[in-house]
Amino acid sequence: MVTGTLIYEGKAKKLFTTGHPDEVLQYFKDDATAFNAQKRGTILDKGIINNKVSERLFRLLEENGVPTHFVERKSDREMLTKKVTIVPVEVVVRNVIAGSLAKRLGLKEGEAIQPPIVEWYYKNDALGDPLIADEHVRLLKLATPEQMAEIKGLALKVNSVLQPFFAERRMVLVDFKLEFGVHNGRLILADEISPDTCRFWDQATRESMDKDRFRKDLGKIEEAYQEVLKRVCG
């Protein structure tokens, strides 16, 4: 059980101190929000599923040379991680047209994007996490040009590892969001990689197996999360 003090409570996770100054405990909640928290709900056992799916994917990425904040999964809902200073940029990688990209540019969902697109969003709830250009990252001093180049390279590397992993599990990795942090002066992958932060479509039916079921009220949300857990960790 959690014994540290609460450092931060976000929409889907809480962060606690540990006995180690260099490490932080992530606690995964069942709370779900969408549209900058205008829509709220809970997804039964989501915290457990996101913790386990994130563990599997962080381990896979580490094995493939991507540095991550993952240290150890402590329990169903707790993950021990390296303490980082988060880069306040949400990094989105897209393989298929969907979501805000389709809406913003008037494109039809479902067409493949080749090569994949990497986008930056300013991590700022008050502004609703707006899409920004490289120049805005520089203007706001969110990351240095060197860090941006490294983040882009790492994001594409993550994609090249995860895409075949999900394909083998009969899933299309449509798009996903990553967050990076600095630990001991080094950029590492942080946060989580889960059905909350990715779009997965079943390869055969093209049905959503992720948080879009909650965002769009598609039903069978818990079933979809359980199916992702089964295919990823099963």
Which residues here bind ligand TMP, judged by CB under 6 A?
92, 98-101, 129, 175-177, 197-199
Residue pair 29/23 in contact by the 8 Å Cβ criterion: no
Q: Which is nearer to ligand TMP, 70 or 200 (CB)?
A: 200
Q: Minimum distance from CB of 198 to ligand TMP (Å)?
A: 5
Q: 27-61 burial, b if ≥16 CB within 10 A, otherwise e?
A: bbbbbbbbeeeeeeeebebbbbbbbbbbbbbbebb
Q: In this complex, which beta carbon is closest to ligand TMP, that of residue 22 or of residue 111? A: 111
Q: In terms of CB distance, is 81 or 159 closer to ligand TMP?
A: 159
Shortest distance (Å) from residue 53 CB to ligand TMP = 13
Nearer Cβ to ligand TMP (27/176): 176
Instruction: Give me the least distance between CB of 211 and ligand TMP, in Å please.
Output: 7
Q: How far is the CB of 225 from ligand TMP (least distance, A)?
A: 14
Q: Which is nearer to ligand TMP, 98 or 209 (CB)?
A: 98
Q: What is the closest distance, in whole angstroms, from the C-beta atom of residue 111 to ligand TMP in the complex?
A: 14
Residue nearest to ligand TMP (CB): 99
